[in-house]
Amino acid sequence: MRHHANFFVNRLVTEWLTNGRIIIGCDVDDTIIPYNEEIKDNCKKMVDLILECQQEGIVFLINTARGEHQLTGVRQEVEDLGIVVHGVNKMHDEWDKPYGLNGKLYANIFLDDRGGFWDTYRTLTTALTIVKQERKKL
């Protein structure tokens, strides 16, 4: 079924409705935690969107370039925002597929300030709206 004309939105909606949830891979610095003060509001908008997505079903994976010694605190930083974290630079414990284990995580969408912040924000926002509408029909 075609939910949206945009291929990426349609794929995300289809995966969300088929699996009941999606996997979000998310960078931390300047994506959800401001490193540069000037984009503080952008980070807040992304956090708010992720929190809204949690209500519809997500697995949230932190995908950061922070050094190994910085990973202990990053999970708590993100959880302090209200986001439930399922993994840090690794797949979540329930993952039973052969991919996503050898370097690059598997996710239905990646959120990253260096990878089209506003494009992925809009894609996720649109997909979330459609998923909510489709679930109301059930």
Distance from C-alpha of 126 to C-alpha of 86, rounded to nearest angstrom: 24
Degrees to nearest 5, angle at CA 57 with 56 and 62? 125
Residue 113 near residue 30, CB atoms below 8 Å: yes
CA dihedral 21, 64, 104, 7 (to 10 degrees): 50
- Tens of pLDDT, residues 79-136: 999 999 999 999 988 898 888 888 889 999 999 999 999 999 999 999 999 999 999 9
Assigned CATH topology for domain 21-115? Rossmann fold (3.40.50)
Task: Give the pLDDT confidence of 116-128 residue by residue, as tens digits.
Answer: 999 999 999 999 9
Instruction: Report the C-alpha gap between 3 and 117 in whole angstroms.
Output: 23
Q: Is the pLDDT of residue 8 over 90?
A: yes
